[in-house]
Homo-oligomer: A and B are copies of this chain.
Amino acid sequence: MKSFEANIKKVVPYTPGEQPQNKVIKLNTNENPYPPSKEVEKVLHNFDVDVLRLYPDPTIKELVDTIADYHGVDPEQVFAGVGSDEVLALSFLTFFHGKKPILFPKVTYSFYKVWADLYDIPYKCTELDENFVIEKEDFYEDNGGIIIPNPNAPTSLYMELSEIEDILKHNQDVVVIIDEAYIDYAKESALKLLDRYENLLVIRTFSKSRSMAGMRIGYGIGSKVLIKHLNNTKHSFNSYTLNAVSIQCGKASIEDDAYFKEMIARVIETREQVKIELKSLGFTVLDSSTNFLFVKHKEANAKKLFEALKAKDIYVRHWMDEPVSDYLRISIGTNEEMEKLIKFMKEYLN
């Protein structure tokens, strides 16, 4: 180690899914197989480039107002950032500043641990039951804050809102974050609990249901007091996060609600069809409320299957960690892509 490295913070970063540059059937990072709204394209192709010489609005007002209007909340309850990852990263820094461990499920989005380590936040992971179900009682112990994704990833399982509310009832002195990256493919959102719990922050992304992973837009909705603190952190980090193009494109996406709902319905339809087919091939398929399936075959080894798929340019996700090493996470692609996947599975399993 060089002498000047003594004062350098050393961290182990998060490893995102691969972004192969060649043409593959890409079912490994839960992206949307359909393009964004045509309204987004119009914004891009008619963008007044002269605007770029000026800083974007640091309050991101146009997008924040549009989001607030869409969800029927006050603009002061909305915070926007560079993907839900930035919203989460700044939320960890802001809301989990206590000495007690924060709580999150053992099997979940693996970035939570990375953020906790980045900011030296103590944490404790709650066990899941044998079916990967999050047990609400595990969140009743003393803690410094809570984060739960609903639906959870990579399990794809949805937790009933009544259970989320039970957790909130038991945790009114800490901030509770519900990470709703996949909620558009599931049942009810925790947004409807906002009126009753000022310590609740709900986080959303444009990367899945809005087909805009490449644009990096996420947002959080909570009480005005939470959003005020989060904005103070943001303005202590980077005054201007979302660029002028993202702000306009995000607004256009939200305004085209018919297309948004149609694309969600299409992904869900494919998901339900693929679920049936995989089950008929001997897979256990968890009851997904997301745009992906979490599956295990009764005989085939997950790692070998993952590699065989990759050799045929079909990318899915596999982790070596227990207790998920027997599983594959498969994003829902187009019907054509999923037919190719099923065709391969049939051949492989024979």
Q: How far is the CB of A14 from chain B (nearest CB, A)?
A: 6
Q: Which 6 A-B pairs have the closest CB atoms?
A: A13-B235, A7-B98, A214-B244, A4-B199, A52-B214, A9-B97
Chain B binder among A66-74, A78-86, A152-160, A274-282: A78-86
Q: Which one of A19, A117, A118, A207 has the highest number of Cβ atoms from chain B below 10 Å of its Cβ?
A: A19
Contacts of A242 in B (CB 8 A): 216
Does A194 interact with chain B (Cβ within 8 Å)? no
| Beta-carbon nearest neighbor of A233 in chain B | B11
CA distance A45 to B44 in the complex (A): 6
Interface bits A7-38 vs B (CB < 8 Å: 1, else 0): 11111111110010000001001011111100
Find out whether the CB atom of A7 lies under 8 angstroms from the CB atom of B175.
yes
Interface presence of A262 (CB below 8 A): no
Number of copies: 2
Indicate if A114 sits at the interface (CB-CB under 8 A): yes
**A215 CB-CB contact with B under 8 Å:** yes
* Stretch of A54-62, A127-135, A298-306, A335-343 on the interface side: A54-62
Beyond A31-B53, A52-B213, whether A236 also contacts B118 by CB under 8 A is yes
A residues near B (Cβ < 8 Å) are: 2-16, 19, 26, 29, 31-36, 40-41, 44-47, 49-58, 82-83, 85-86, 89, 93-98, 100, 111, 114-115, 117-118, 144-145, 172-175, 198-199, 207, 211-216, 225, 229, 231-246, 249
Question: Which residues of B are found within 8 Å of A86, using beta-carbon distances?
Answer: 237-238, 241
